[in-house]
Amino acid sequence: MRLGRLAVALAALLALAGCGGESGTAEPVATTEVSMAKSYRFDPETIEVAAGATVTWTNDDNFTHTVRVEGQEDHEVERGSSVSIGFGDPGTYEYVCTLHSKDMRGTVIVR
Ligand SMILES: [Cu+2]
């Protein structure tokens, strides 16, 4: 009985972990293009680029968003517009939309 319950709990945990790609911490995607997708999302949330790459964020949502990489200035991106930011040095850069910082966060991993 107890073991059965444990197995069910474990299965539920594994199922939750399996859903990680759709929301929350995602596996890095090798791309320099990030969409500000409907609604209030960066897609993909975590990207991986080569040192010296320029990353472009395009606002495909119906609301104005921003991109602010930690330690850098804030870039406002109106719907239909985009912003490009260069990443020279390897490292992990967290960024946020300062208008919706609770929902819209992402990461650029520079190799
Ligand atoms: Cu936003």
CA-nearest of 69, 110, 70 to 90 is 110
For residue 38, report the distance from its CA to the centre of ligand 1, in Å.
10
Summarize pLDDT for 62-85 with one digit per residue, the tens: 999 999 999 999 999 999 999 999
> How many residues are there in the chain?
111
For residue 62, report the distance from its CA to the centre of ligand 1, in Å.
10
Neighbours of ion ligand 1 (CB under 5 A): 65, 97, 99-100, 104
Q: Which two tokens stand for residue 62?
A: 């119906």
Torsion region of 4: left, alpha or beta (phi above 0 gives left; psi -120 to 50 gives alpha)? alpha
pTM for the full model?
A: 0.78
* pLDDT for the residue numbered 5: 57
For residue 28, report the distance from its CA to the centre of ligand 1, in Å.
21
* pLDDT for the residue numbered 3: 54
Summarize pLDDT for 42-68 with one digit per residue, the tens: 999 999 999 999 999 999 999 999 999
For residue 85, report the distance from its CA to the centre of ligand 1, in Å.
17
